[in-house]
Chains A and B, each alone.
Chain A
Amino acid sequence: MKRVSLVLTLALAAGLSAQAASAQTLKTVKERGMLSCGVSQGLPGFSSPDDKGNWTGLDVDVCRAISAAIFGDGTKVKFVPLSAKDRFTALQSGEIDVLSRNTTWTLSRDTSLGANFTGVTYYDGQGFLVKKSLKVNSALELNSASVCVQTGTTTEQNLADYFKGNNMKYEVIAFASADETVKAYESGRCDVFTSDVSQLYAERLKLANPADHVVLPEVISKEPLGPMVRHGDDQWFDIVKWTLFAMVDAEELGVTQKNVDEMAKSDKPELKRAFGTDGNLGEQLGLTKDWFARIVKAVGNYGEAFDRNVGAGSKLGIARGLNNLWNKGGIQYAPPIR
């Protein structure tokens, strides 16, 4: 892990000293014929390789959607698995074109890292996973507990704030990767494993006996997760931002992977604008007229991607909750395509 960050740092130093910030990410990606997308090292539901080595997950689908928007093909993606602490360096150094790796949007990350968040793929919050046998019903009963956490995350700071704010003592043991963290929790080194709630559900699946563990009801933080791109390339920023918006708008417009070809023939003005049969919105982004159809064909709309990866249609079975559309009780809201 140390070696990876060292290599990335050297690449960062070399890259930064060799050339000025490239404002031509789209051109570079097209020339390469591949989108380089930073993902997690394996988080079920968000980004993890299946038994055949294919990456799946909500974050992965965002990468595939961008690839589809550019190439008309959702498979032209090179996935780069990154640990929490290497992810920003990989983006800064140009190793990846976009970081789509369950990353929390915060002010300091948006400003000091030389990168921008493009939107929110998943509204999450931090929670606690404990063994049922401890008979704990609330996070407020965790005084003097040992807590396992993955290093290099906002989780570490939220944890400190929460225990301090509630006048509770605790011991923190921080590991470099999620796998090591979970292993230490399972071995009994810690009483509690803390992370984003979605991740707790995902990691619980990996435990020997998932039913012996319970996620406590308290959610102690706001964790809006979203993709990131480098500063200095506004066109690329727009493409990544609008790819996600297109997925959300598609759900709102009722366009699905199945009916996309029929809907493309529709006479409704908002559908005509989205599908490019009226106007050239796709070309304004630097893409083709049919960018919207390409995205939906490759990964479906936001609701479909959610269901397939983390929602009712997946092993995780997480409820839509905050991630439902704004007109269905959630807060997922995309600006109009016009």
Chain B
Amino acid sequence: MAIESRKPPSQFVLRLQRALGGRAGWGGFVVQLLFVAVLAWIAYEIVANARANLQAQRITAGFGFLQNTAGFDVSQSLIPYTGSDTYTRVFLVGLINTLLVSVIGIFFATVIGFIVALGRLSPNWLLSRISGGYVELVRNLPLLFQILFWYLAVLAALPSPRQSISVFGMFFLNNRGLVIPSPIGNPGFEPFVVAVLIAIVAALALWRYARRQLHQHGNMLTIWPYVLGLLIGLPLVTALIFGAPVTFEMPVLRGFNFAGGSRLIPEFVALTLALATYTAAFIAEIVRAGILSVHKGQMEAGSSLGLHRGEVLRLIVIPQALRVILPPLTNQYLNLTKNSSLAVAIGYPDLVSVFAGTTLSQTGQAIEIIGITMGVYLLISLVTSAIMSFYGWRISRSMG
């Protein structure tokens, strides 16, 4: 990289630095200490005053409410939950639902984003125009509108449970969601899981061995038949010895809805779809920018080595583009997570809906609940950033 001579900072900046105690020794230190002290004092005054006035108005304060019984039900919960559980449990249910929609949304947004970006850069005229049209259409419509579109226009148009679209009499699609047979563990379940794990570990070891052979000795080994044999054969043999690991409980129409089986609720599907497709449009542009930022010569060099287009992209261009892509990609991941709070519009029981919504109005403890909710979103965002930074650090290290 060319070394550019940097301009010295302007007089104003220097003076500002001095005033703020930037590099001016003890004086600066004292000013900074005073500043922090004033901030701490203001924060203390706010908290103390709020507490005194809450007490004066006899508004219940504190976190004791978390131990109280919630007394309401939630439509989707990955952990066991009933109305007689506590608000703490409600908080966990909401948090897990938020994380679920975020993680799945991020996964699909990334996949769709990369595909659209590659499509837009493709020499195929039609493909690149379709991809471009997708980006322009989706990123220019408000997200809330898209969520409502998927929920009210697409999913609500499905037939009622009694007229469900049935696939093989096992899967049922209706306006209450997608009902699928749910697996129930048998005694043979645990050996089966162990067998699958062993097979995966063995396959990974084999793959590493093959890669070392390729890199160090230039031997291209054909390992896929062995991997396949391991992954299918070992669990199959276990199942034959210990019996079938699971049996499936079939959904049956009973009364208004299907009983038995598992169900993907339309609120979840609409929210995930909207978040994934919306964010994918932004990711596509970020990826495209990242790929275009890699010098054309890299691609030409790759081609002249005899690699074809896919290999050039996968082995040469994308690893370099990732450096440019990662920071704005992290932003999009954070946006998606925060946008998931729009769930409240379509009744998906996320953290904002069940905790900052129902729980808040039942207990009236706005300050505590909004405080906890903000803290949780902050924490989720910081953890996401940390993971992405770590990933970025590993990439830049591996590229030297």
A contacts, CB < 8 Å to B: 1-2, 5-6, 8-9, 12-13, 16-21, 84-85, 87-89, 92, 108-109, 111-114, 134, 142-146, 148, 151-153, 156-157, 159-161, 164, 170-176, 180-181, 183-184, 187-189, 191, 230-232
Closest to A85 in B: B361
Across the interface, do B53 and A17 meet the contact criterion of CB distance under 8 Å?
yes
Establish whether residues A21 and B347, one from each chain, have CB atoms under 8 Å apart when the complex forms: no
Q: Are A2 and B344 in contact (CB under 8 A)?
A: yes
- Candidates A9, A112, A161, A180; contact of B370 at CB < 8 Å: A9
**In contact, A152 and B358 (Cβ under 8 angstroms):** yes
CB pair B72–A92 under 8 Å, yes or no, is no
Q: Which among B54, B57, B256 has the highest number of chain A CB atoms within 10 Å? A: B256
Q: How far is the CB of B259 from chain A (nearest CB, A)?
A: 6
A19 to B362 Cα, complex, angstroms: 26
Given A9-B367, A85-B361, check contact A174 B53 (CB 8 Å): no
The SS class assigned to the B binding surface is: helix
Pull 29 A–B residue pairs with CB atoms less than 8 Å apart, ordered by A.
Answer: A9-B366, A9-B367, A12-B367, A17-B46, A21-B56, A84-B361, A87-B361, A88-B366, A92-B59, A92-B366, A111-B60, A144-B256, A152-B361, A156-B358, A157-B72, A160-B72, A160-B73, A172-B73, A173-B347, A174-B354, A174-B358, A175-B344, A175-B345, A175-B346, A176-B344, A188-B156, A189-B156, A231-B58, A231-B59
Please measure, in the bound complex, the distance between the C-alpha atom of A182 and the C-alpha atom of B103, giving whole angstroms.
30
Kindly state the separation between the CA atoms of A293 and B254 in the bound complex, as whole angstroms.
60
Q: Which chain B residues border A231 with CB–CB below 8 Å?
A: 57-59
Are A144 and B257 touching (Cβ within 8 A)? yes
Interface status of B364 (Cβ within 8 A of chain A) = yes
Partner of A157, one of B50, B71, B267, B357: B71
Please tell me if the beta carbons of B358 and A180 are within 8 angstroms of each other in the complex. no
Interface residues on B, range: 35 or more
- The reply to whether A173 and B267 contact each other, CB–CB distance below 8 Å, is yes
Residues of B26-59 whose CB lies within 8 A of A? 45-47, 49-50, 53-54, 56-59
Chain A residues with Cβ under 8 A from B366's Cβ? 5, 8-9, 12, 88-89, 92
Summed over the interface, the residue pairs from A and B with CB atoms below 8 Å come to a total of: 166
Taken together as a complex, chains A and B put the C-alpha atoms of A47 and B381 apart, in Å, by 41
The answer to whether B156 touches A143 (Cβ under 8 A) is no
Q: In the complex, A327→B75 CA distance in Å?
A: 46
Closest chain B residue to A156 by CB distance?
Answer: B72
Looking across the interface, which residue of chain B has its beta carbon closest to that of A154? B362
Q: Does B341 contact A (CB under 8 A)?
A: yes
Can you add 15 more A-B contacts, CB < 8 Å, to A88-B361, A176-B345, A189-B176? A17-B49, A92-B59, A92-B366, A142-B256, A146-B257, A151-B353, A151-B361, A153-B361, A161-B83, A164-B83, A174-B354, A180-B346, A184-B346, A187-B156, A231-B58
B203: shortest Cβ distance to chain A, in Å?
41
Rounded to whole angstroms, the CA-CA distance of A209 and B56 in the bound complex is 51
Do B160 and A188 touch across chains, with their CB atoms under 8 A apart?
A: yes
Q: Say how far B174's CB is from chain A's closest CB, in angstroms.
A: 9
Contacts of B266 in A (CB 8 A): 189
Whole-angstrom distance between the alpha carbons of A17 and B49 in the complex?
A: 5
The interface residues of chain B lying within 8 Å CB-to-CB of A181 are 347
B58-A114 in contact (CB<8A)? yes
Query: Can you list, as one digit per residue, whether each of B115-131 has a CB less than 8 Å from chain A (1) or not (0)?
Result: 00000000000000000
Kindly name the residue among B49, B57, B257, B366 whose own CB sees the greatest number of chain A CB atoms within 10 A: B366
CB pair B345 A180 closer than 8 Å: yes
Contact for A20 among B56, B356, B357, CB less than 8 A? B56
For the complex of A and B, list the 8 residue pairs with the smallest distance between their C-beta atoms, beginning with the closest.
A114-B59, A152-B361, A187-B156, A17-B49, A144-B255, A112-B60, A85-B361, A160-B83
A65 to B213, CA, bound (A): 89
Tell whether, in the assembled complex, residue B53 and residue A20 are in contact, meaning their CB atoms are under 8 Å apart: yes
Bound complex: CA of A175 vs CA of B148, how far in Å? 13
Distance A211 CA – B155 CA, assembled complex (angstroms): 26
B56 and chain A: residue at smallest CB distance: A21
Taking a contact as CB atoms closer than 8 A, the residue among A92, A160, A171 that contacts B57 in the complex is A92
Contacts of A180 in B (CB 8 A): 345-347
The 0/1 profile, CB within 8 Å of A marked 1, for residues 332-373 of chain B is: 000000000100111101001110111011111011001000
- Interchain CA distance A9-B176 in the complex, whole Å: 35
Q: Using known A-B contacts A16-B49, A160-B72, determine if residue A174 contacts B353 with beta carbons closer than 8 Å.
A: yes
Q: Chain B's nearest CB lies how many Å from the CB of A29?
A: 18
Minimal beta-carbon separation of A184 from chain B (angstroms): 7
Closest Cβ neighbor of B349 among chain A residues: A174
In the complex with contacts A13-B367, A17-B46, A85-B58 CB distance below 8 A: no
